């Protein structure tokens, strides 16, 4: 395992643990962090001694979403040319199971990467949200596609179009997460589950994951492509520029009236 700047890695028996480690920004995603967390999980996925992975965050935030310093200046050309937000799709394509252990904020990209995982264990402080609409864009790392498949059209439409947050109890009730546990117990609960999975026959676990995903995600790819192009295009709208500038300046945005 190579050295990373923004993630920590650890192996406990046959479980690989990847932890967001950018606490000064509440683990907000910049380009390097997005690449590092993906690469760390991929390395554990390729390690024959690992049977399951856990993705964890900090005490205040699992991941507070994308860093606006990274994405606010994007336009359609740069977003499309770099295929912005596509790199982390590889997390959803890992063959071994990944369990997200969520405490605190999991906003924007934090919710999206947790949805890429196979199961989500959250403690009672966890908050999930896809607030991109308030910034003049939509979620671009699989949020609409995966949220709709997880909770259904009616609930997904509500959370995508309002940007409202939900707590762990509501997230479990609507089927977004696997289980809610007591305050601070999310990592231990995730590790316990990961050990149980990792101790099962490797090929049957991998086959089971593949079969469930095949049923849950078809036809996912066309939806992801449309979602990403809309995401890219929205970086050229006046409301996106205004919203992200207003956020940085700590003022209320003034959106264009159509």
Catalytic residues: 66, 109, 112, 132
Contact (CB, 8 A) for 100 and 121:
yes
**Could you give the dihedral angle defined by the CA atoms of residues 228, 232, 237 and 241, in that order, rounded to the nearest 10 degrees?**
110
Contact (CB, 8 A) for 88 and 224:
no
Instruction: Give dist(CA 82, CA 104) in Å, integer.
Output: 30
Contact (CB, 8 A) for 243 and 134:
yes
Give the number of other CB atoms < 10 A from CB of residue 230. 13
What is residue 84's three-state secondary structure?
coil
Give the number of other CB atoms < 10 A from CB of residue 131. 17
**Could you give the dihedral angle defined by the CA atoms of residues 19, 193, 102 and 218, in that order, rounded to the nearest 10 degrees?**
100
Cis peptide, bond prior to residue 218, ω within 30 of zero: no
Contacts of 226 (CB under 8 A, 6+ apart): none
């Amino acid at each position: 395992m190579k050295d990373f700047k923004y993630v920590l890695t650890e192996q406990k028996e046959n479980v690989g643990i990847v932890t967001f480690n950018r606490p000064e920004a509440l683990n907000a995603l910049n380009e390097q962090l997005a690449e590092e967390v993906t690469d760390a999980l991929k390395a554990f996925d390729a390690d024959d001694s690992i049977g399951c992975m856990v993705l964890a965050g900090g005490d205040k935030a699992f991941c507070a979403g994308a860093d606006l310093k990274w994405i606010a200046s994007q336009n359609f050309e740069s977003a499309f040319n770099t295929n912005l937000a596509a790199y982390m799709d590889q997390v959803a394509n890992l063959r071994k199971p990944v369990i997200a252990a969520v405490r605190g904020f999991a906003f924007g990209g934090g919710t999206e990467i947790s949805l890429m995982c196979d199961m989500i264990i959250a403690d009672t402080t966890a908050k999930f949200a896809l607030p991109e609409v308030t910034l003049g864009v939509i979620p671009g790392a699989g949020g609409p596609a995966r949220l709709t498949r997880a909770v259904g059209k009616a609930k997904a439409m509500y959370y995508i179009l309002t940007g409202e947050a939900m707590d762990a109890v509501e997230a479990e009730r609507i089927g977004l997460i696997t289980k809610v546990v007591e305050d601070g117990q999310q990592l231990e609960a995730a590790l316990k589950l990961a050990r149980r999975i990792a101790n099962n026959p490797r090929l049957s676990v991998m086959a089971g994951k593949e079969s469930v995903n095949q049923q849950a995600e078809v036809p996912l790819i066309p939806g992801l492509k449309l979602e990403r192009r809309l995401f890219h295009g929205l970086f050229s709208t006046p409301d996106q520029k205004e919203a992200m500038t207003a956020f940085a300046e700590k003022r209320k945005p003034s959106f264009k009236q159509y």
